[in-house]
Copies of this chain bind each other. A is one copy, B any other.
């Protein structure tokens, strides 16, 4: 197999395994985006006279036929796999696909296209969950502060607070979508290319809002843009973490307000009676996984001068994995909310007198007692 940077001396095998890492696995998901950008790149090269019309057509046609492509470990990454495929099919012509681009901008553009599509999915999944939350019946229940009964509340108030939290995230998402909607293809290794290429052409065809003009800006956005995405994902996961924490506690026998659908719970290997909220616990824990991936990105991108460093290779995994976790967690949560039953009797039974202490105090206030004195008066009734 040919490496894109091969010059004639052999790379140590252990080093090779270390540098490839899990890229060949991660890139599998990026293939369609990489292929899409390659098609447009070939067309642009032809427009600008760096490929003949025939060369471009044969490359584009070969790429369009490519339904699936398994990246082998020897390929290193999707970029090399695609070039190797083209060379195999088209010989010399295949080699020309890498004219006027570097693996850096190729990777940047594939990630950008992946994000554009998946941020859209994220939006849909959030909306689907919000919809489920708004369907739930309203039942009075205690409101808690400090994990202690505080004041009267209701499940509608709780579920619609979840919806509001998720809608904050939707707002958060909008500028990310806009920031990422810039075409980096053509920035090459971070300092442009000494050829007369037409960046606007690929920008238009790939559906980007604009061209990311400054090549150093393109290079420096590697890792940072991944972090911006993961920050939003972590924000969504934090909401799911809160929802999970509520549902786990409120479905214990001690609280008993909610019942989780059995088909969404799992058992114990030793205790026959157990029906455990494992999926919710995993959602709760997966918040920390996504937050941890954010921490990785924050570290990897720091204390580095401008321009590409191989360190950035390791920013791909945290971003792709966080996206996958968040999308599946949202799907799961929609299912859990849909199947969640409310035990109205237990919820009503939990509405004990202490919840109304503030109300008692305010009755005194309405009779003219300053709040602080009313507070002390009512406080004594509960000691």
Contacts and interface: CB of A to CB of B under 8 A. Distances in A.
Q: Can you tell how many copies of this chain the complex includes?
A: 4
Given A306-B161, A313-B282, A272 B361 contact: yes
Interface in A264-318: 264, 266-279, 281-282, 284-289, 291-314, 318
Interface in A125-173: 143-153, 157-158, 160-161, 164-165, 168, 171-172
Contact of A309 (B145, B295, B372): B145
Across the A-B interface, give the 7 residue pairs with the lowest CB-CB distance, nearest first.
Answer: A5-B267, A292-B296, A288-B299, A303-B303, A161-B216, A285-B311, A272-B379
Given A19-B266, A224-B165, A242 B12 contact: no
- What band does the interface of chain A fall in when counting residues whose beta carbon is under 8 Å from B? 35 or more
Nearest to A10: B263
A271 B328 CA distance: 40
Contact of A231 (B102, B231, B242): B231
A219 B311 CA distance: 25
A329 to B, nearest CB: 8
A151 B298 contact: no
A85 to B, nearest CB: 14
A189 B270 contact: yes
19 contacts: A5-B266, A15-B263, A15-B332, A19-B278, A98-B371, A103-B269, A143-B307, A147-B309, A224-B235, A238-B298, A241-B302, A273-B378, A273-B381, A285-B311, A285-B312, A285-B314, A294-B298, A298-B299, A299-B302
A331 interface: yes
A65 interface: no
A302 to B, nearest CB: 5
Given A15-B332, A95-B373, A375-B270, A362 B194 contact: yes
Given A21-B282, A148-B253, A370 B96 contact: yes
Contacts of A382: 272-273
A214 B289 contact: no
A89 to B, nearest CB: 15
A215 interface: yes
Nearest to A253: B149
B189 A150 contact: yes
B264 A310 contact: no
A314 B237 CA distance: 15
A335 B298 contact: no
Given A285-B311, A292-B292, 14 more contacts: A6-B267, A95-B371, A144-B305, A146-B309, A151-B189, A151-B271, A158-B216, A161-B306, A189-B358, A195-B366, A285-B314, A288-B302, A292-B297, A299-B299
Contact of A332 (B10, B18, B195, B289): B18
A194 B98 contact: no
Contacts of A253: 148-149
Nearest to A379: B272
Given A5-B266, A242-B304, A249-B305, A281 B102 contact: no
Contacts of A19: 266, 278-279, 282
Interface in A26-41: none
Contacts of A383: 7-8
A383 B262 CA distance: 10
B306 A263 contact: no
Of A12, A235, A269, A275, the most chain B CB neighbours within 10 A belong to: A269
A340 interface: no
Contacts of A5: 266-269, 274
Given A282-B310, A302-B238, A221 B168 contact: yes
